[in-house]
A and B are shown apart, each in its own frame.
Chain A
Amino acid sequence: MHFTINGTLYQVEVDNRVSLLDLLREHLALTGSKKGCDHGQCGACTILINGRRINSCLSLAVMHQDDDITTIEGLGSPEDLHPLQAAFVSHDGYQCGYCTPGQICSAVGMLDELKKGWPSHVSPSLRDVDLNDDEISERMSGNICRCSAYPNIVDAIRDVAAAQA
């Protein structure tokens, strides 16, 4: 099967039991996506499929023929950080760093959802969607950070969103 990861076309043969996360980590040496629970409960494995965020541990690799996959490695490099990556560094939006790639991929997907006007549990109404701290916190609650950098994560995302607006 074939798919694109971070702009590179991959052609692989894969056991149909392999999760998308394990494909990245164990077969393609893309270990930036993290395995925190393998249950879709922690968000550490969040990546972008055709621009939308998903838990890659809950998806089998074989379901992704022709998909356009973006992982943390595709967002930026240490020498050329994505704005969210830079904001996570400057706001200390992490400590141990293990949930961080998932947080950042999730934030990329989340800001796009906000831009499209998708409502959340805390939106005042289905059409009244605004970027504020409550919206960021709610929409980022699928990504657990046990070090608990949440206030800094909110600060980082708010900064980037404001710059984009």
Chain B
Amino acid sequence: MSDTNNLVMDLPVPSSLLDIGAQGLIGKPLSRSEGPLKVTGRATYSAEYAIPDLAYGYLVGAKFGRGKITRVDADAVRGLPGVIDVITDFATFIRNPQQGGESKAPAQGVKDVQYFGEIVAIVLAESYEAARDAGERLVVEYEEAEGRFDFEALKADSEKGTFNNIPGYFHQGDLDRAVADAHASVDVVYTTPSQNSAAMEPHASIAVWEEGTLTLYGSYQMPSSDKLQLAKALGVSAKKVRIIAVYIGGGFGSKLGVAPESVAAAVAAKQLGRPIKAVMTRPQVFETTVRRASTEQRVRFSVDAEARLTGVGHETKTSNLPGESFFEPAGVGTHFAYPGDNRVINHDIVRLNLLLAGSMRAPGEASGMMATEAALDELCHKIGLDPIEFWRRNEPKEAPEEKVPWSTRQLLRCMEEGAERFGWDVRNPEPAQVRDGEWLVGMGMAAAVRSNMLMKSAATVSIDPDGRATIATDMTDIGTGTYTILGQIAGELLGLPLDRISVNLGDTNSPPGAGSGGSWGAGSSGSSVYLACERLRERLAAAMGCVPDELTLKDGIATARNRQIALAELVGEGLEATGQIAPGDMETQRKQASYGAHFAEVGVNATTGEVRVRRMLGVFSAGRILNAKTARSQCLGGMTFGIGAALTEDLVHDPRNGKVVNHDLGEYHVPVNADVPQLEVHFLTERDQFANPLQAKGIGELGISGAGAAIGNAVFNATGIRVRDYPITLDKLLDQLPPI
């Protein structure tokens, strides 16, 4: 018998059960519970399920940027050995992936091609080799049409962004006046390129129909909403779709919504009456999943004679496909990071025929803070003020726009602790003064902010007659550590060691979880497990004849009123409870975010302009840290994404047809081991009672926010060169390097 413990976050939770648990699991640097499976190759990812009678599907993309398909010469390849069929369902195939969390189908219809690489057909064969061969030979005839490919040429023709987590347009006071009256100001334009999440596992789906019900083994971050999108796209009831995503080889936003391979595999499997496996090639991942959109950001800061901010301007031009409302919300962090009475934070969208623009790790803050934190460094340099001193004078007491209190905000503490640990005091603020052999050496720092979100999430926790607990939710673990932290939460509250807890994730037959995105996974999904366990504790207390406060649960033994009973005995035929969390008034009554500070030391080669990150350190505050080991790893990952964004990552679109020129990992340069020094990560102790019952906040995206700016600022300190066009590649430094 299951009952449900619901909590809407309308009130703070000042005392968390995690602090009275006796098991001692929470916060500990425990190794991932699924680790032994991953390191031995036994963890099963989407493309790896052994399904009987499976046929292979090879996706075929348009080799033109805009136009209409007139004919697909399927007959020419149908006769090839091993080839079964060519499926072209122009109406049902999806044009591009869906954005995360949507309940409706993505844009459908592929006869009218909107971008280079759009998936228009799937070739089915008995072997992968036969499918690939036929797919490469398949002739798709088309009439080319004029497209919009060149951001630079078309950027004047834009439309205002409509609401996307934040308003597209926001203004307060009179920024122009503030700048005109300022003691000092900066007015600079930064650009960031398109980027790709480039998760190591390519998007993959195996579609299996049985008696009108589809099971899709798909590499997806948010199965409960992905299921709705897939059902809508296929025109079937959501009850007839099940998504299984037990292990996901990275996502970073690229697997939030269903992607073209899922619908193509499902359509083909239904038509053929056999299971179909469709895996994107690496170039297809780059061409037809999702990009972080390029931006052009005008940043203005104005200060008075005491260096207090009087004005903040952050105006972003970005791009997306026709009909897609998502815009890269570069100003999302600006709304609350910086005070100043006079404010303009705007976003304009240029319609372009390029692959979908959507969420990639920290949409908004990641590219936005590369501009604002660099512009702030420019301002500090101009007025001769250390950036940390600038923040001391400007740290706002409350959210500058909503005028509500912070839930917590330890930005300055992060900076001060980071400065001490990093040795910031030895930095020479005068650029291009430090030399180490052939290297110009500089230090830079930047703030990190990332909004905290809570999403509706449910989980069921049961205790079996043998005293083992099982957690079930369709929440996912994309490398974030969900398996481990959910086990830790349940173990802490139920008094069970991790090896007596099973965590079953990524199956939409389980209660709907928040999914992995927006750094909300641990807080939301963890709270649902917390709530289920809270209810189980009540039931266990009742069985012990006491109130929950009197109950101590440890190592599978319940203790109360001088009695000890094994959990296995206490639960009889077993207990089960469901927990469900939902956001409430705390979302608006407190401004919730995670904070941090990045410090970087770079060497810039005096002759070649090559930039190497020599040291990098981050201090973060994100509420309660649930697992010190996996949380640190999340920050390492974020900081490394920051290194890539600052120095190497640049998705290049051919301005003639929109084709992604560098559509593989040899040409799109993500950081490799030798690009990343032994990064240092530190956490401040914090509890956020306004966030959720765990008092924990998101951490997966905090590490990237501001990281790239710290590196750019270090390059300026090393060389005196301010590169406002990311990434900072050597060609942008070479002609301005100081004389040797």
Q: A residues near B, CB below 8 A?
A: 15, 17-18, 22, 25-26, 29-39, 41-42, 44, 71-73, 75-79, 81, 85-86, 88-90, 92, 94-101, 104, 122, 133-134, 136-138, 140-155
Chain B residues lying within 8 Å of A142, measured Cβ to Cβ, are: 672
Interface of B is mostly: loop
B400 within 8 A of partner (CB): no
Chain A residues lying within 8 Å of B31, measured Cβ to Cβ, are: 89-90, 92
Chain B residues lying within 8 Å of A79, measured Cβ to Cβ, are: 36
If A92-B32, A96-B200, A147-B633 touch, does A154 touch B252 (CB 8 Å cutoff)? no
Q: Do A81 and B36 touch (CB < 8 A)?
A: yes
Q: Do A75 and B641 touch (CB < 8 A)?
A: no
- B637's partner among A17, A41, A149 (CB-CB below 8 A) is A149
B250 within 8 A of partner (CB): yes
CB distance from B529 to the nearest CB of A (A): 21
Chain B residues lying within 8 Å of A25, measured Cβ to Cβ, are: 48
If A17-B129, A153-B673 touch, does A81 touch B39 (CB 8 Å cutoff)? yes
B664 within 8 A of partner (CB): yes
Chain B residues lying within 8 Å of A141, measured Cβ to Cβ, are: 672-675
Q: Do B673 and A137 touch (CB < 8 A)?
A: yes
If A31-B48, A38-B282, A148-B636 touch, does A96 touch B478 (CB 8 Å cutoff)? yes
Complex CA distance for A85 and B636, rounded to whole angstroms:
20
Q: Do B479 and A95 touch (CB < 8 A)?
A: yes
Please list the 3 inter-chain residue pairs (A to B) with the smallest Cβ-Cβ separation, ordered nearest first. A32-B41, A98-B249, A96-B479
- B32's partner among A89, A138, A150 (CB-CB below 8 A) is A89
CB distance from A25 to the nearest CB of B (A): 7
Q: Do A85 and B39 touch (CB < 8 A)?
A: yes
Complex CA distance for A155 and B480, rounded to whole angstroms:
20
Q: Do A15 and B129 touch (CB < 8 A)?
A: yes
Q: Do A78 and B479 touch (CB < 8 A)?
A: no
Q: Do B39 and A89 touch (CB < 8 A)?
A: yes
Q: Do A88 and B673 touch (CB < 8 A)?
A: no
Q: B residues near A, CB below 8 A?
A: 31-32, 34-45, 47-48, 50, 127-129, 133, 197-202, 247-252, 279, 281-282, 478-481, 629-630, 632-634, 636-637, 639-641, 664-666, 670-679
If A92-B31, A96-B201 touch, does A146 touch B40 (CB 8 Å cutoff)? no
Interface of A is mostly: loop
CB distance from B326 to the nearest CB of A (A): 22
Complex CA distance for A106 and B249, rounded to whole angstroms:
19
If A89-B31, A138-B674 touch, does A152 touch B41 (CB 8 Å cutoff)? no
Complex CA distance for A148 and B199, rounded to whole angstroms:
11
Q: Do A44 and B200 touch (CB < 8 A)?
A: yes
- B633's partner among A31, A34, A78, A149 (CB-CB below 8 A) is A149
- A34's partner among B39, B249, B665, B672 (CB-CB below 8 A) is B249
If A29-B50, A32-B40, A100-B39 touch, does A146 touch B199 (CB 8 Å cutoff)? yes
CB distance from B59 to the nearest CB of A (A): 14
Residue of B nearest to A120 (CB): B674
Q: Do B41 and A31 touch (CB < 8 A)?
A: yes
Complex CA distance for A147 and B481, rounded to whole angstroms:
12
Chain A residues lying within 8 Å of B250, measured Cβ to Cβ, are: 95-96, 98, 146-147
If A34-B249, A141-B674, A146-B670 touch, does A97 touch B637 (CB 8 Å cutoff)? no
- Contacts A75-B40, A81-B39 aside, 4 further interface pairs with beta carbons under 8 A come to A88-B35, A95-B479, A138-B674, A152-B636
- B129's partner among A22, A36, A38, A95 (CB-CB below 8 A) is A22
Residue of A nearest to B680 (CB): A151
CB distance from A33 to the nearest CB of B (A): 7
Complex CA distance for A17 and B197, rounded to whole angstroms:
30
* Most B CB within 10 A of own CB, among A36, A37, A146, A149: A146
Q: Do A147 and B629 touch (CB < 8 A)?
A: no
Q: Do B673 and A36 touch (CB < 8 A)?
A: no
Chain B residues lying within 8 Å of A81, measured Cβ to Cβ, are: 36, 39-40
CB distance from B461 to the nearest CB of A (A): 25
